[in-house]
Amino acid sequence: MKRLLIVDDELAIVEALQDILSVEGYGIITAFNGAEGLQRMEEQRPDLVLLDLMMPVMDGREMLRRIRDDASLRAIPVVVMSAGRISEEERRSSARFLAKPFELDLLLDTIAELLGGPDGPKPTRGDGVG
């Protein structure tokens, strides 16, 4: 089961995403600011991070910078979710950008594209049948 880390300071968003994504078959880890998010990443390495930018304590921009500066974390895809604009550097540092509010199907398609679904890519048989 693929694990997703949701980092957002809005409880309603975290709970809604957690409910929807767990039903889709993903394991969910949550954090409410960037500092908590980095701590969760050390405790349980996620396969993908859903990251809000505007948060207290440590914002998403700083968390994203620290993820990209850490050789052990930089390969983890980060999907930035924000109602505001993001810089070109933030766009380059993230795997995808979703403007809030976004459609649920877009979020699910984005995660599936980056991870291959809750259980990863479907194995293919050697005979080319797939």
Condensed to tens digits (0 to 9), the pLDDT of residues 59-105 reads 888 999 999 999 999 899 999 988 877 778 788 888 889 888 888 89
Give the model's pLDDT for residue 121: 60
Q: Can you state the angle between helices 34-43 and 60-69, rounded to 10 degrees?
A: 40
- Kindly state the average pLDDT of the residues 5-26: 94
Give the model's pLDDT for residue 42: 93
| Cβ atoms of residues 33 and 55 within 8 Å | yes
* H helix or E strand, kind and range, residue 28: strand 27-31
Better-scored residue on pLDDT, 117 or 127? 117
Q: Model pTM?
A: 0.86
